[in-house]
Amino acid sequence: MSTQERETGRQIRCLIAKVGLDGHDRGAHVISRAFRDAGFEVIYSGLHRAPDEIVQAAVQEDVDVLGISILSGAHNTLVPKIVDGLKEYDAFEDTLILVGGIIPDDDREDLLEMGVGAVFGPGTPMEETIEFVRENVHDRE
């Protein structure tokens, strides 16, 4: 991308969020860096965030993509709270939500139904995730 394009074009903004109690954020760091190298603007939330905090950050930063990293197994309680929070601020419609981490197959369907764009398990190639973001980021006027 040339400087010219960058000045006039739209930049994909992402929030990489660690929600809940799990204290392992190596994956979140790796994805943040990969997204940065892909030319995205990445905001990393830091560890141990509550759903409210993630909603606050996603709304204020007006991100196109919200990547939630969860390894603790608490996705069934945490993700719905975030989805509801985004809806409350009219931010749900144009935010692409991704969930990464350890998610049992049975739960995947529920998350996707809830409005999550994709669930990426361990070992997903980085290119696949980046490509998915590029293709599925919501159009804005």
E strand or H helix that includes residue 82? helix 75-88
Nearer Cβ to another protein (52/84):
52
Helices H / strands E in the chain, number of each: 6, 5
Query: 86-108 burial string, b = 16+ CB within 10 Å, else e?
Result: beeeebbeebbbbbbbebeeebb
Residue 105 CB, nearest approach to another protein (Å) = 32
14 or 71: whose CB is closer to another protein? 14
Distance in Å, CB of 17 to another protein, minimum: 11
The Cα–Cα gap between 58 and 15 comes to 7
What is the smallest separation between the CB atom of 72 and another protein, expressed in angstroms? 20
Task: Give whichever of 42 and 70 is closer to another protein, judged by the CB atom.
Answer: 42
Binding site for another protein (CB under 8 A): 1, 3, 6-11, 13, 32-33, 35-46, 50, 52-53, 56-57, 59-62, 89-91, 141
16, 32 Cβ separation under 8 angstroms: yes
Least distance (Å) from another protein to the CB of residue 79? 18
Based on CB atoms, which residue is closest to another protein, 13 or 75? Answer: 13
Cα 41 to chain center, whole Å? 12
